[in-house]
Structure formats: C-alpha cells, structure tokens
Amino acid sequence: MLWAIDIGNTQTAVGIWNGDAWAAVWRLDTDHLRTEDELAVHFKALCELDGIPKTADQVVMGSVVPSINDVYLDYARHRLGVEPLLLQTGAQVGVDVAYQPPTAVGADRIANAVAVIEKYGAPAVVVDFGTATTFDVIDAGGVYAGGSILPGVKVSAEALAGRAAKLPPIELKAPERAIGRTTVESLESGIVLGYAGAVDSLAGRILAELGNPDTPVISTGGLGSVFLDVCQSIQSHDEMLTLDGLRMCADRLS
C-alpha cells in the first residue's frame, strides 16, 4: 500500500493506492492543532470504515503548510513504520522549473506537473481550484514554465459575505442565467460566472503566450468540477491529478 498525502491550506487529501487503483481517498481539515495521536485515531477509524488494512509500504507527502509537516511525518514513522518521502522541489523528481526561485513552486504544483505530463503529455495547463486557484503551465519541452495565482473562489465568496451585511453566503453553483432576479441568483452570476470568465481570460492569455491554442487545459481540486461546464477553456476535470502526481513521484524520490 502507498499512502499519498497532499497537505493544502484548507484541506488535506490522503489517498491509499493498492497497486492498481485508489482503494480510498479521504479529505481532512488542515488543522494546525491536530496531534499525532489524533491522526492515529482518525486514520484507524477511516481504514476500518473502508475495510482496508492500516498498513503502508510507502508514504509520499507534499505540503504547502510547513508547520504541519512534522505531525504527518512522525505519524508515518511511528504508526505506519515507514520513512516518508517528502516532495519539496522539481529538482527532486526531474522536473525543470523556469521560476524564480525554483524552490518557490509548491509541492502540489510539482505533483500536478508530473501527473499532467504523464497522463496528458506536454504542453499542458493545470487549473487547480483550491484555497487559491493556481495555473500550472508546462511547455512543449516538459518544463514547468510558470503560472498564475488567483484568490480561490470560495475565499472570495466568503470574504464578500463577511464584508457586506445584506449579502448572504451562497452555494457555489452555476446559475441558469447571467441576469440574476434575486440576490442569491445575482451572487451566483457574479461569483461563479464572473470567476469562470476570469479563468477563461487567464487561460486564453496563457495559451497565446505558449503559442499553441490546442494545449489541453485540465482542472483539478475540490471545486474544479463546478467550473467544468461554465469555463470554455477547460477540456476535462481530473479530481485525482495531484494525488496521482504524488504517487508517480514516489518512485523518483525513493
């Protein structure tokens, strides 16, 4: 069993790979106060719930929250009996990074690059909808060329509701029309359709700079499926892209 752990700012995704498929995928809040013992309780219960053994042959981890790393690393060492592999830079896994400094690219973005090249080829663009929405651009030579970072759509919506007393929080879903006839419809239009327009605009500029309008644009991340049908630039949604990338990186790190 391989455990792939993707620690994000809001959620931590944990996938259990049995050699042929993902036997389980769990999402936990990224909690700065969670202890190793608490992790042990959570994972024991989740393994029992999904009927899989709590064992590991490999553990690979990527994180954008360094303050949490030690808890998960110690869990792997003490509870799973495995020395974990920590993805930190493109150089570790053979990804050339044209970014200054190269070490500033998050582990999740490196994992996305590895997976998209393997699964879709190069060039490619990944749009990862998380706490922030990131664009990862892979050029025709397989080089991580750079990207773009937007405030996440959920973060933006929550900030608006928190600052405007008469605007309610909404479910993030695409409305039937752009002209809202209620406050909720108007928010859905502005937040979802407006955000989709921003994604399409950035994607269009990126593809123009790459000089290849046929470059595939793949979405991932928790909210990526919401925008698949409203963003004209996104061809497909790959929910497992980052975990697949971490899984692929394990062989390169070991």
Bridge partners (DSSP) of residue 85 are 60
| Radius of gyration of the chain, Cα coordinates, nearest whole angstrom | 19
Tens digits of pLDDT across the chain (254 residues): 999 999 999 999 999 999 999 999 999 999 999 999 999 999 999 999 999 999 999 999 999 999 999 999 999 999 999 999 999 999 999 999 999 999 999 999 999 999 999 999 999 999 999 999 999 999 999 999 999 999 998 888 888 877 887 777 878 888 889 999 988 898 889 889 999 999 999 999 999 999 999 999 999 998 888 899 899 999 999 999 999 999 999 999 97
Which pLDDT score, from 0 to 100, does residue 125 have?
98
CATH class in words for 90-246: alpha beta
Torsion of CA 221, 222, 226, 232, to 10 degrees: -10
How long a stretch of residues is the chain? 254
For residue range 57-70, list pLDDT tens digits in order.
999 999 999 999 99
Fold annotation for 2-87:
Nucleotidyltransferase; domain 5 (3.30.420)
Delimit the CATH 3.30.420.40 region(s) of the chain.
Answer: 2-87, 90-246
Query: 244: which 2 tokens?
Result: 């697949």
Give the type of residue at 61: M
**123: closest CA among 98, 100, 102, 145?**
145
Distance in Å from the first CA to the final CA of the chain: 15
Q: Is 108 a catalytic residue?
A: yes
The three state secondary structure string of the chain is CEEEEEECCCEEEEEEECCCCEEEEEEEECCCCCCHHHHHHHHHHHHHHHCCCCCCCEEEEEECCHHHHHHHHHHHHHHCCCCCEEECCHHHHCCCECCCCHHHCCHHHHHHHHHHHHHHCCCEEEEEECCEEEEEEECCCCCEEEEEEEECHHHHHHHHHHHCCCCCCCCCCCCCCCCCCCHHHHHHHHHHHHHHHHHHHHHHHHHHHHCCCCCCEEEECCCHHHHCCCCCCCCEECCCHHHHHHHHHHHHHC
Q: Which of these is catalytic: 6, 108, 136, 244?
A: 108
> What's this model's pTM, rounded to 2 decimal places?
0.92
